[in-house]
Structure 1
Amino acid sequence: MEPVPPWGTVPAKEIWVDQFFPERSGHDWGVVKLAEPVGNTVGWIGLKNTQDATWVGSTQTITGYPADKPAGTMWSANGEITAETGNTFTYTTDTLGGQSGSAIYRENYAIGIHVTGGSQTNTGTRITDELFDTIVNLTAR
């Protein structure tokens, strides 16, 4: 029996990815513009530019659909940001396959995008000045 998506399905209208991925670290992101607006049904999250802030030592959350949980169930985990570079965060939040692309967020705004997990730490793409402007410009089309 195929699992039923918890929120239904909506086709993509447009998809964008970074032209420098995978050659350059910190350029792993994608934007999907849906054919129908779904925010009023499933909810919204803001977006925050993290370029001029220091996040090491702060707690953040990742919410997604990890592969080791029952299909269609959403789970959240908190963890600490342990390092940051120009375009990436490293953090201790527990994640698993299926959560790549999930927002790394604090309060009600995304500060990054979860990219990969490891046995000790995970890595995400920071929302820098450039990425913030790119996302805003793409979604305004």
Structure 2
Amino acid sequence: MNDQTRTTVDGLSDPHGPVSNEADNVGEQLEKDVLSNAPATGEGGEVIEPSGGVEAVGAVAAAALDLGEVVPDLTGLRPIGEASYGPMAGPELVIGQDNRVQITNTADYPWRVHASLLITARDGSRWIGTGWFVGRHTLATAGHCVYIKNSGIAARDGWVQSIQVMPGRNAATLPYGSVTSSNLRTVNAWANDGNHEYDYGAIILSTDLGAQTGWFGIGAYTDATLNGSTVNISGYPGDKPGGTQWYHSDAVSSVGPRKVFYVVDSAGGQSGSAVYRVDNGARYGVAVHAYGGSTSNSGTRITQEVFNNLVAWSA
């Protein structure tokens, strides 16, 4: 990706600046190459090369590691989007026929970059979502996965208590174990205003688990580059068996200043998934999946402002 593909937006001034649930807000900015996708390290199998911007699926599942960890049961848990928008919200949708494909070789790159999230709210209620690695100890996700808005329940409104991160989960198998974090990030425009155009955040881990899984780059692309391009989404929907990963790929239908719209199938629970494209053989997130509609789903666009925040949060 070259610099010509990047777009410039307003800087990090309030109310769109970053906020944290911890005292130290944002770290030093990393070198640019930290956010390109990492080498395929870890215990999974070989790197699966995409074709025409679409991932290859149907490979044999890699052998799981025996980490002796109890795998949490997600049965009956609802998508985290419902905590902010209500039980009938269903912020992500299947467009027409369901074209999602189950991924079983989740211990392989790129599937292990995606993580199943078990989210515990302030009132102790538990919810599901999805995140994806953007660095050795940082995952990007939806803002409503880390900060619940508009629920009308005071104990539930605000920063969640904790998030259990399970990369490459495949039902009852955790090929890379899990890490639980309460070190969370979002921006003021989401936390203070609930503005859906700023619905993104991050989870900061106390370990460098991302060094095992690898991660995706991020790119602030121009409208011309994004429109009509192929994007991919893989995550952990609530309408499928708990903890299973599902994938679909299709075209970007339109773009806005802070949103990307696409006809990629998804369901509640996939909030926070990477909306990513393949650029010269590397994978770059272009949006954070968060919302749905009757003709398209949408994600918070990675503008230069979002890019800068994710870089800072990865420090």
Distance in 2 separating the partners of 1:16 and 1:126: 17
Q: Give 1:126's aligned residue.
A: 301
Distance of 2:208 and 2:232 partners within structure 1: 25
Give the Å deviation of 1:43.
2.7
| Equivalent residue, structure 1, for 2:188 | 19
Is 1:113 aligned to 2:288, yes or no?
A: yes
Q: What pairs up with 1:26-105 in 2 under 5 angstroms?
A: 26-50=197-221, 52-54=222-224, 55-105=226-276
Structure label with greater radius of gyration: 2
Residues 36 and 5 of structure 1: is their aligned pair in 2 closer, same or farther, counting only changes over 3 Å? farther
Which structure has the higher relative contact order (CA within 8 Å, separation 6+)?
Answer: 2
Name the CA distance, whole Å, in 2 between partners of 1:71 and 1:48.
Answer: 31
CA distance in 1, matches of 2:208, 2:199: 25
Q: What TM-score do the two structures reach when normalised by structure 1?
A: 0.88
How far did 1:40 drift?
2.8
Structure 1: gaps of 5 or more residues: none
SS at match of 1:37: coil
Deviation at 1:57, TM superposition (A): 0.8
Deviation at 1:96, TM superposition (A): 0.2
Shift of 1:136: 0.4
**Residue 28 of structure 1: CA displacement?**
0.5
After TM superposition, the runs of 4+ consecutive aligned structure 1 residues lying more than 6 A away are none
Check conservation: 2:200, 2:272, Cα contact below 8 A: yes
State whether residues 219 and 302 of structure 2, in contact with CA within 8 Å, keep that contact through their aligned partners in structure 1. yes
Query: What is the deviation of 1:8?
Result: 2.6
- Whether 1:9 aligns to 2:184 is no
Q: What's 2:64 paired with? A: none
CA RMSD of aligned residues (A): 1.8
Seen in structure 2, the aligned counterparts of structure 1 residues 138 and 69 have a Cα distance that, compared at 3 Å, is same
Deviation at 1:25, TM superposition (A): 4.0
Counterpart Cα distance in 2 of 1:61 and 1:85: 18
Greater alpha carbon shift after TM alignment, 18-27 vs 55-64? 18-27
**Aligned partners of 1:23 and 1:37: how far apart in 2?**
31
Q: Which moved more, 1:3-12 or 1:123-132?
A: 3-12
TM-score under structure 2 normalisation? 0.42
Identity of aligned residues (%): 35
Count of aligned pairs: 139
Higher mean displacement: 4-13 or 70-79: 4-13
Structure 1 residue 42: deviation in Å?
Answer: 2.5
